[in-house]
């Protein structure tokens, strides 16, 4: 054939040149007419009830019965469903209970079996690490909530993170920007043993799933509350709208409200990972410091840079307030009580200053906090830390165990001087991948590693 094919094949011309480029890896499928498109839409709507039924049955097969109280409003009545409290991955049952409403969901949460099913709800994706994601999400919610097209209702967990259901934390205002009526929806798990709560601190997802599956019976109660119609003031102020809806839901649940946010939870988790003194109370500490003007003055950073040479490292309440230049009142007393050692009734002042510096430098590279820690715990102001002192520093702001800190000290102090300096440690850490988190500019997003 000399490289030629007959022209009726359409593959080659008579002169051997290719008439068209063939790609065996491409397949195109187009719906050519309106009738075909209508059939697809009707088929999907017919499948929704079946998918919801199968979803509910899968929960029942796992031993969890879902009961529903109240009536779900139509999209015309309430384009947005506001669901709280959010406490478990099992809350995904709300998707089936609300006839496949569109959820606001983190993109990284979709890479599992449940995530694949949620894709059928036409979700609004959120990329938490994308600085523009928040505005894009709000824009999408507004477009869907106010659209005349037949979108599903938008389903939002406004707390933005899981809690233990003991209270309702701050509602994010994103779902309230459209200014349209919303329907509050509450979730309860009235079981003798709580095997579903999945929070920042506690059992992992697999353990909770296993314990839930081994229960004889578990139940989930979903209640649709009356539609909430915003006032003109609430339409202008999404944060006010969010607070007022939260109050209604808290009253229905019989729980208090607490002004904690997702960022607060992330800050607490970061503090605990690093071993910061009184890590679980950093949110409250930050609030009190703000009330006392310590955040603005940056006095604590100045005190930490000076160290505590020549002054007692353990202080009572009066001296604690005096060193910080704050009044001896209920606020300073509470700050003191958070750090007090019960056996002595005193506060280890370097521990307080380290925590305060962590809050002041939370978006800076960890090297800045570490530099101050070397000064804070160096009681002799020599610039040299013994193995015991380095262990104090490493367990309080690097998240190392005492054993790992001990081993790290030995690796840095190869000539066995019995001490190391800040520069010596940094020089060593720069060569080790496990300490790369120390040099990251936005440390709040990175989990520390140990050797």
Coil, strand or helix: which one is 18? strand
CA 242 to chain centre: 19
Round the CA-based radius of gyration of the chain to a whole number and report it. 29
**Domain boundary assignment for the chain:** 38-260, 261-361, 363-451
Predicted confidence at residue 361, as pLDDT, reads 93
- Would you state the pLDDT for residue 274? 94
pTM: 0.67
Which residues neighbour 321 within 8 Å (Cβ) at sequence distance 6 or greater? Answer: 327, 328, 332, 336
pLDDT of residue 303: 92
Question: Which one-letter DSSP state was computed for residue 379?
Answer: T
Task: Give the 3-state secondary structure of residue 137.
Answer: helix
pLDDT given at position 448: 37
State percent of the chain over pLDDT 90.
Answer: 54
pLDDT in tens, 166-208: 999 999 999 999 999 999 999 999 988 888 888 877 788 888 8
- The tens digit of pLDDT for each residue in 66-89 reads 999 999 999 999 999 999 999 888
Could you count the other beta carbons within 10 Å of the beta carbon of residue 135?
A: 11
Measured on CA atoms in the order 282, 288, 291, 292, is the torsion positive or negative?
negative
Tokens of 211: 């314990």
pLDDT grade for 446, boundaries at 50, 70 and 90: very low
Q: Does domain 363-451 have CATH number 1.10.238.10?
A: yes
| Cα distances (Å, whole numbers) of residue 209 to 9, 163, 222 | 60, 17, 20
pLDDT exceeds cutoff 80 at 10: no
Write down the residue that tokens 């505590």 correspond to: 308
4: left (phi over 0), alpha (psi -120 to 50) or beta: beta
Q: Give the pLDDT of residue 336.
A: 96
pLDDT recorded at residue 88: 87
Whether the predicted pLDDT of 3 surpasses 60: no
- Give mean pLDDT, residues 370-379: 92
pLDDT tens digits, one per residue of 110-161: 555 555 566 666 778 777 667 677 888 889 899 999 998 888 899 999 998 8
pLDDT category at 306 given cuts 50, 70, 90 is confident
**pLDDT at residue 114 in the model:** 55
Model confidence pLDDT, tens digit, residues 244-258: 999 999 999 999 998
């Amino acid at each position: 054939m000399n490289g030629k094919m007959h022209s009726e094949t359409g593959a080659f011309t008579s002169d051997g040149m290719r008439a068209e480029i063939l790609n065996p890896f491409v397949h195109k499928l187009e719906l050519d007419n309106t009738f075909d498109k209508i059939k697809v839409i009707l088929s999907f709507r017919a499948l929704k009830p079946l998918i919801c039924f199968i979803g509910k049955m899968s929960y029942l097969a796992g031993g969890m019965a879902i009961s529903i109280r109240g009536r779900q409003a139509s999209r015309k009545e309430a384009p947005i469903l506001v669901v709280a409290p959010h406490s478990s991955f099992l809350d995904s049952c709300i998707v089936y209970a609300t006839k496949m409403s569109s959820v606001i969901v983190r993109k990284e949460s979709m890479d599992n079996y449940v995530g694949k099913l949620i894709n059928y709800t036409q979700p609004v994706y959120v990329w938490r690490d994308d600085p523009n994601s928040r505005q894009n999400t709000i824009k999408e919610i507004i477009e869907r909530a106010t659209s005349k097209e037949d979108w599903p209702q938008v389903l939002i967990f406004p707390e933005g993170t899981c809690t233990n259901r003991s209270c309702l934390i701050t509602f994010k205002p994103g779902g309230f920007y459209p200014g349209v009526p919303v329907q509050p929806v509450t979730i309860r798990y009235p079981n003798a043993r709580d095997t579903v709560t999945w929070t920042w601190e506690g059992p992992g997802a697999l353990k909770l799933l296993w314990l839930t599956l081994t229960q004889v019976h578990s139940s989930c109660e979903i209640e649709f509350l009356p539609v909430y119609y915003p006032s003109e003031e609430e339409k202008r102020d999404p944060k006010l709208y969010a607070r007022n809806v939260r109050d209604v839901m808290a009253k229905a649940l019989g729980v208090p409200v607490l002004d904690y946010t997702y960022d607060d939870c992330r800050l607490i988790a970061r503090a605990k990972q690093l071993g910061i003194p009184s890590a679980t109370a950093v949110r409250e500490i930050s609030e009190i410091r703000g009330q006392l003007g310590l955040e603005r003055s940056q006095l604590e950073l100045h005190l930490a840079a000076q160290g505590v040479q020549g002054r007692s490292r353990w202080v009572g309440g009066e001296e604690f307030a005096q060193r910080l230049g704050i009044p001896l009142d209920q606020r300073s007393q509470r700050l003191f009580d958070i750090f007090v050692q019960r056996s002595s009734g005193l506060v280890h002042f370097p521990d307080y200053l380290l925590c305060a510096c962590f809050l002041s430098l939370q978006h800076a590279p960890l090297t800045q906090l570490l530099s101050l820690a070397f000064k804070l715990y160096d009681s002799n102001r020599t610039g040299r830390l013994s193995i015991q002192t380095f262990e104090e520093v490493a367990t309080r702001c690097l998240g190392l165990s005492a054993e790992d800190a001990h081993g790290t000290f030995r690796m840095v102090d190869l000539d066995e001087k019995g001490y190391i300096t800040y520069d010596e440690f940094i020089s060593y850490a720069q060569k080790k991948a496990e300490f790369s988190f120390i040099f990251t500019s936005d440390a709040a997003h990175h989990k520390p590693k140990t050797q």
